[in-house]
């Protein structure tokens, strides 16, 4: 029942919600609220709206639409927002392929776009734009950080696994770039694959001492459940995309012991984060994921820039965004020259929580001040 009321609320929100009727600043959010992997979009939205509510501003209007994880729909929603609603800022996209379909056209037409999740390499490099800001990460960051961490921890023979699609091959390339050693083998699975018996048997047959994998969403759940019953006992590593609080609860005990890299952790020790986690739990009755944290930071960045200038004054507003003068739940936050974050990446371990459910516990920093490798290709 609680789920249903929450969902009902979600449906109301997704049609379009106005926290104020004054039309001073309009923000359009296009995010994934239905279809596979929609919990990412729901968390980005909830984190974003939490920050908006806490700001108490009544001259900002947020319009929210569901892209259903479809590039064509996202594109037409973006056009609608820009032409009919005349929004000043767009945000919200979860998936890199949708971002590639929407962002270049949006920023070319003079609207600001702030990414709360997707960070494809092209937008960090040769297709970067002065009106595009990524508040989350460049896609390679978490994978590279895990490579660095595993090398430091002394793993010498990792085997690595990802789906055979652009973000999957990028993930393994990012990992290898900072691992700087030889891997035993690289395995590619099909996108959306649900049975991993064949891959697990290959991992068993190899003499690897560790496994790094990138399998976002349901693929990660399937893989880890099958991994647990396979009897292979080498440690597993991944990026937070397979280990957010919602996914690991669906995986259950199979996730315990896995280590993962994240740009944020709910038990990260800083004042802004304590307040964020507490108020988020109060408002939505669940522990926020990194996506909620990214949504929250995106909203606060916008709010901080709005205090300096209105988006109509493009240059001043852009400068204010670039300064990133806001309290991030990640602690320190700054942008590189290509408007992508330079940030610490943390390692978390999945442990059994007080309620017997798996949860993430912060272990430490995997790599400090990581910056993407594409900024040199960026000409603004």
Least distance (Å) between residue 108 CB and other proteins: 33
Q: Terminus-to-terminus CA distance in the chain, angstroms?
A: 51
Report the residue from 16, 57, 79, 253 that binds other proteins according to the rule CB under 8 A: 253
Of 14, 31, 38, 261, the one binding other proteins (CB under 8 A) is 38
Which contiguous run of DSSP H or E holds residue 240?
none
DSSP string, 311-370: TTSHHHHHHHHHHT-S-BTTBS-EE-TTS-EEEEEEEEEEEE-TTSSEEEEEEEEEEEEE
Distant-in-sequence, close-in-space partners of 334: CB < 8 Å, separation ≥ 6: 324, 341, 342, 343
Span from 32-40, 266-274, 321-329, 336-344 in contact with other proteins (CB under 8 A):
32-40
> Are 205 and 231 spatial neighbours (Cβ–Cβ below 8 Å)?
no
Q: Verify binding: residue 360, other proteins, rule CB under 8 A.
A: no
CA angle 187–220–372, rounded 5-degree value: 70
192 lies in the binding site for other proteins (CB under 8 A) = yes
Sequence-ordered list of residues with C-beta below 8 angstroms from that of 363, at least 6 positions apart, any chain: 259, 346, 347, 348, 349
Residue 293 binds other proteins, judged by CB under 8 A? no
CA dihedral 337, 338, 339, 342 (to 10 degrees): -70
Q: Which is nearer to other proteins, 204 or 274 (CB)?
A: 204
What tokens appear for 32 in the block?
A: 């994934």
Please answer whether residues 227 and 251 qualify as being in contact, where contact means their C-beta atoms are separated by less than 8 angstroms.
Answer: no
Question: What string marks each residue from 149 to 188 as x (binds other proteins by CB under 8 A) or -?
Answer: ---------------x----x----------------xxx
Instruction: Pick between residue 54 and residue 222 the one whose CB is nearest to other proteins.
Output: 222
Map the footprint of other proteins across residues 50-69, applying CB under 8 A.
none
| Per CB under 8 A, 207 contacts other proteins | no
The piece of 125-133, 146-154, 217-225, 361-369 that touches other proteins (CB under 8 A) is 217-225
Q: Does 3 bind other proteins (CB under 8 A)?
A: yes
Residues 6+ apart with CB under 8 A from 316: 308, 309
Is position 205 an interface residue for other proteins (rule: CB under 8 A)?
A: yes
Among 226, 272, 279, 371, binds other proteins (CB under 8 A): 226
Using CB under 8 A as the binding criterion, the count of chain residues that bind other proteins stands at 47
Q: Which of 263, 332, 302 is nearest to 55 (CA)?
A: 302
- The least distance separating other proteins from the CB of residue 218, rounded to whole angstroms, comes to 4
Closest CA to 261 of 372, 373, 175: 175
Judged by CB, which is closer to other proteins: 165, or 375? 165
The yes or no reply on residue 352 touching other proteins (CB under 8 A) is: no
Q: Does 20 bind other proteins (CB under 8 A)?
A: no
User: Rule CB under 8 A: which residues touch other proteins?
Assistant: 3-4, 6-7, 33-36, 38-39, 42, 164, 169, 186-190, 192, 194-195, 197-199, 201-202, 204-205, 218-219, 221-222, 225-226, 228-232, 246-247, 249-254
């Amino acid at each position: 029942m609680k789920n249903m009321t929450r969902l009902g609320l979600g449906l109301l929100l997704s049609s379009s919600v106005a926290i104020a009727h004054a039309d001073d600043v309009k923000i359009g959010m296009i995010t994934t609220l239905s279809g596979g992997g929609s919990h990412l979009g729901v968390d980005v939205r909830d984190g974003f709206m939490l920050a908006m509510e806490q700001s108490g501003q009544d001259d900002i209007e947020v319009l929210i639409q569901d892209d259903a994880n479809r590039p064509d729909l996202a594109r037409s929603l973006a056009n609608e927002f820009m032409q009919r609603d005349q929004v000043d800022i767009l945000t919200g996209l979860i998936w890199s392929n949708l971002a590639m379909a929407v962002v270049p056209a949006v920023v070319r037409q003079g609207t600001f776009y702030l990414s709360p999740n997707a960070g494809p390499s092209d937008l960090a490099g040769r297709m970067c734009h002065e009106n595009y800001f990524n508040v989350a990460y460049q896609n390679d960051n978490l994978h590279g950080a895990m490579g660095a961490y595993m090398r430091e921890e002394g793993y010498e023979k990792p085997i690595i696994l990802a789906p055979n699609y652009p973000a999957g091959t990028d993930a393994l390339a990012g990992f290898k770039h900072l691992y700087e050693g030889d891997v035993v083998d690289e395995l590619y699975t099909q996108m959306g694959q649900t049975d991993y018996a064949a891959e697990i048997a290959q991992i068993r047959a190899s003499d690897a001492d560790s496994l790094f994998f990138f399998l976002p969403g349901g693929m990660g759940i399937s893989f880890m459940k099958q991994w647990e019953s396979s009897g292979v006992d080498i440690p597993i590593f991944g990026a937070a995309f397979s280990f957010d609080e919602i996914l690991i609860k669906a995986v259950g005990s199979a996730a315990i012991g896995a280590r993962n890299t994240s740009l944020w952790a709910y038990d990260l020790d800083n004042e802004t984060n304590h307040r964020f986690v507490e108020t988020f739990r109060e408002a939505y009755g669940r522990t926020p994921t990194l996506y909620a944290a990214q949504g929250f930071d995106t909203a606060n960045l916008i709010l901080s820039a709005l205090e300096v200038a209105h988006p109509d004054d493009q240059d001043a507003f852009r400068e204010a965004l670039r300064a990133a003068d806001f309290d991030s739940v990640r602690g320190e936050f700054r942008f590189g020259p290509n408007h992508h974050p330079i940030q610490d990446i943390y390692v978390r371990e999945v442990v059994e929580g007080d309620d017997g459910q798996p949860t993430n516990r912060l272990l430490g920093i995997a790599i400090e001040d990581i910056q993407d490798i594409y900024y040199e290709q960026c000409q603004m």
